[in-house]
């Protein structure tokens, strides 16, 4: 079945644009509520959001949809995506909903759905909800109509859970940490959790006004946090995205550390402690070959999944792994959370910083990444990758890189783009290969 609304990470689009409207959100609430009305208990859904102006509109529409089919609603207000997953499971809810477009600009928004186990919904569940969205729903009547309430202690519950992920013998006293919350969902909880563990926190990106989420701050706009770390002589910088499921670290020299290096650190340390499950780490096809070589030298494997944290999670669950993530900063640590959690991952890095006594620039540089280049080619329609001319250039590039690098070519799941990535030991060769393929795709588009 084709997917009209759901992409690789829920439903996302411009608020009040062609797809994502209050009307659609109400349909999602009605359909998802109907899908999860199972058993004779009183059903409930937990709804959280980030700080976008359109979150108010989307929240009210979802509440209307869920209550109209007989599901009670618990609203948390602004809270990270992993907190919604946690609360859905902890509160024995039938469903969790996060209203967020993650690292996108404020004008976009999205809807992410979690099952009662705190994990993102399967493709099958999403397909069934899409099917129901095209049908009339059975409306609850009288006393069966759902109730809605807002809880005030959601932030405290999440802060407590986050702190529990840090080893009990580790304190952060003496550390100076810059925490950039992107004016997003973690603007209160992340600085508070790290401060309560003893660190001196310099918070930035903590003044949301509905319009400034991810605007010049956060994990996709690193210049400000880099400068702040150096200016204040901090030991580390932590940059989260709008819904705080993504983490980029800044070392004391102001250099960014991506998800590959973070996975190398967490995975290798857990292996040394006998706590790494599955004998390796799960990443995506985009993770650097340097990470794979680093793990291989230590007898650990790197399992590659499709791009998207949901696919990383599927591979982790299938293989019994407890560490996975993406180069972009999504870190999934299944011992502590059911989805990516930037704050939890940051605490694992801070624990390593305390226990090792090393500066961040040394601790977090575990391998030299091989040259890697990614370029996007926009197309208007059709399938340029199916053209014989493009396939011939790709085949030639694969032969050229064989044994010396990798080639990954895929269509974007959200835009009409072909993404061309190559990596290898010879940077000039990598650039030449990517340019040849891009030229071929442009000619066929």
Q: Quick one: average pLDDT of 33-54?
A: 96
Q: What is the per-residue pLDDT for 116?
A: 96
Q: pLDDT tens for residues 395-431?
A: 999 999 998 999 999 988 667 899 999 999 999 999 9
Q: What is the per-residue pLDDT for 167?
A: 85
What is the pTM assigned to this prediction?
Answer: 0.91
Q: Quick one: average pLDDT of 211-233?
A: 97
What percentage of the chain carries pLDDT values higher than 90? 92
Q: Is 102 a catalytic residue?
A: yes
**Cα–Cα nearest to 216, from 234, 204, 229, 233:** 204
Q: What CATH number has the domain spanning 159-256? A: 3.40.120.10
**Lowest mean pLDDT, pick from 37-41, 79-83, 250-254, 302-306:** 37-41
Q: What is the per-residue pLDDT for 110?
A: 97
Give the residue extent of every domain in the chain.
11-152, 159-256, 257-363, 372-444
* Nearby residues of 388 by Cβ (< 8 Å), 6 or more positions away: none
C-beta of residue 263 within 8 angstroms of C-beta of residue 330? no
Cα Rg of the chain, angstroms: 22
Is pLDDT of 171 > 70? yes
Extract the tokens encoding 183. Answer: 């004016």
**Cα–Cα nearest to 52, from 106, 131, 117:** 106
Q: What is the per-residue pLDDT for 414?
A: 66
Looking only at the bridges linking them, the beta strands covering 331-333 and 323-325 are antiparallel
Is pLDDT of 4 > 90? no
Distance CA 119, CA 125 (A): 12
Q: pLDDT tens for residues 69-118?
A: 999 999 999 999 999 999 999 999 999 999 999 999 999 999 999 999 99
Q: What is the per-residue pLDDT for 8?
A: 78
**Lowest mean pLDDT, pick from 148-162, 219-233, 275-289, 379-393:** 379-393
Q: Quick one: average pLDDT of 239-265?
A: 97
Query: Among positive and negative, which fits the CA dihedral 225, 290, 318, 9?
Result: positive
Is pLDDT of 53 > 70? yes
Which of 102, 219, 287, 328 is the catalytic position?
102
Class in CATH terms, 372-444: alpha beta
Three-state SS annotation for the chain? CCCCCCECCEEEEEECCCCECHHHHHHHHHHHHHHCCCCCCCCEEEEEECCCCHHHHHHHHHHHHHHHCCCEEEEEEECCHHHHHHHHHHCCCCEEEEECCCCCCCCEEEEEEECCCCCECCHHHHHHHHHHHCCCCCCCCHHHCCCEEECCCHHHHHHHHHHHCCCCCCCCCCCEEEEECCCCCCCCHHHHHHHHCCCEEEEECCCCCCCCCCCCCCCCCCHHHHHHHHHCCCCEEEEECCCCCEEEEECCCCCEECHHHHHHHHHHHHHHCCCCCCCEEEEECCCCHHHHHHHHHCCCEEEEECCCHHHHHHHHHHHCCCEEECCCCEEEECCCCCCCCHHHHHHHHHHHHHHHCCCHHHHCCCCCCCCEEEEEEECCCCCHHHCHHHHHHHHHHHHHHCCCEEEEEEECCCCCEEEEEEEECCHHHHHHHHHHHHHHHHHHC
Extract the tokens encoding 65. Answer: 């949809």
C-beta of residue 321 within 8 angstroms of C-beta of residue 303? yes
Per-residue confidence band for 445, with pLDDT thresholds at 50, 70 and 90: confident
* Nearby residues of 255 by Cβ (< 8 Å), 6 or more positions away: 226, 361
The fold of 257-363 is Alpha-D-Glucose-1,6-Bisphosphate; Chain A, domain 3 (3.40.120)
Distance CA 243, CA 99 (A): 9
Distance CA 377, CA 140 (A): 48
Q: Quick one: average pLDDT of 222-246?
A: 98
Q: What is the per-residue pLDDT for 427?
A: 95
Q: Between 3.40.120.10, 2.40.50.100, 3.20.20.100, 3.40.50.970, what CATH number should domain 11-152 receive?
A: 3.40.120.10
Q: Quick one: average pLDDT of 159-168?
A: 94
Q: What is the per-residue pLDDT for 209?
A: 98
Q: Using CB atoms within 10 Å of the CB of residue 214, give its burial: 0 to 12 exposed, 13 to 18 middle, 19+ buried.
A: buried
- What are residue 372's DSSP bridge partners? 423
Q: What is the per-residue pLDDT for 2?
A: 59
Q: What is the per-residue pLDDT for 1?
A: 44
Distance CA 229, CA 172 (A): 17
User: What Cα–Cα distance (Å) separates residue 230 from each residue in 80, 158, 220, 303?
Assistant: 27, 30, 18, 36
Rounded to the nearest integer, the mean pLDDT of the chain is 95
């Amino acid at each position: 079945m084709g997917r009209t609304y759901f992409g690789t990470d829920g439903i996302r689009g411009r608020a009040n644009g062609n797809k994502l409207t209050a009307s659609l959100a109400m349909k999602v609430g009605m359909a998802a509520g109907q899908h999860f009305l199972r058993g004779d208990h009183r059903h409930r859904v937990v709804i959280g959001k980030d700080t976008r102006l359109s979150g108010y509109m989307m929240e009210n529409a979802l509440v209307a949809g869920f209550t109209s089919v007989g599901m009670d609603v618990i609203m948390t207000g602004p809270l990270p995506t992993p907190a919604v997953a946690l609360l859905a499971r902890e509160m024995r809810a039938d469903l969790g909903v996060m209203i967020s477009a993650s690292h996108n600009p404020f004008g976009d928004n999205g809807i992410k759905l979690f099952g009662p186990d705190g994990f993102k919904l399967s493709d099958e569940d999403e397909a069934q909800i899409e099917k129901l969205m095209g049908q009339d729903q059975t409306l609850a009547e009288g006393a069966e109509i759902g109730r809605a309430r807002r809880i005030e202690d959601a932030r405290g519950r999440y802060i407590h859970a986050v702190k529990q992920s840090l080893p009990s013998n580790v304190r952060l006293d003496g550390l100076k940490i810059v925490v950039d919350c992107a004016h997003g969902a973690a603007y209160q909880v992340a600085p508070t959790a790290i401060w309560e563990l003893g660190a001196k926190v310099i918070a930035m990106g903590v003044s949301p006004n509905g319009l400034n989420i991810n605007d010049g701050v956060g994990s996709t706009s690193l210049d400000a946090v880099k400068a702040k770390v150096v200016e204040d002589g901090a030991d580390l910088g932590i940059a989260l995205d709008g819904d705080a499921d993504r983490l980029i670290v800044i070392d004391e020299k102001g250099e960014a550390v991506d998800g590959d290096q973070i996975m190398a650190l967490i995975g290798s340390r857990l292996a040394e402690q006998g706590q790494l499950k599955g004998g390796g780490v799960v990443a995506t096809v985009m993770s650097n070959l340097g990470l794979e070589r680093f793990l291989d030298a230590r007898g650990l494997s790197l399992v590659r999944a499709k791009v998207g944290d949901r696919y990383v999670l599927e591979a982790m669950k299938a293989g019994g792994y407890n560490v996975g993530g993406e180069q972009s900063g999504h870190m999934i640590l299944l011992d502590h959370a059911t989805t990516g959690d930037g704050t939890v991952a940051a605490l694992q890095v801070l624990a390593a910083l305390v226990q090792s006594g090393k500066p961040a620039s040394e601790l977090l540089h575990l391998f030299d990444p091989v040259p890697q280049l990614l370029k996007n080619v926009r197309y208007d329609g059709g399938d340029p990758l199916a053209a014989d001319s493009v396939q011939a250039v790709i085949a030639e590039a694969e032969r050229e890189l064989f044994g010396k690098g990798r080639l990954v070519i895929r269509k974007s799941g959200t835009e009409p783009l072909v993404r061309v990535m190559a990596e290898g030991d010879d940077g000039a060769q990598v650039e030449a290969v990517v340019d040849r393929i891009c030229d071929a795709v442009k000619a066929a588009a």
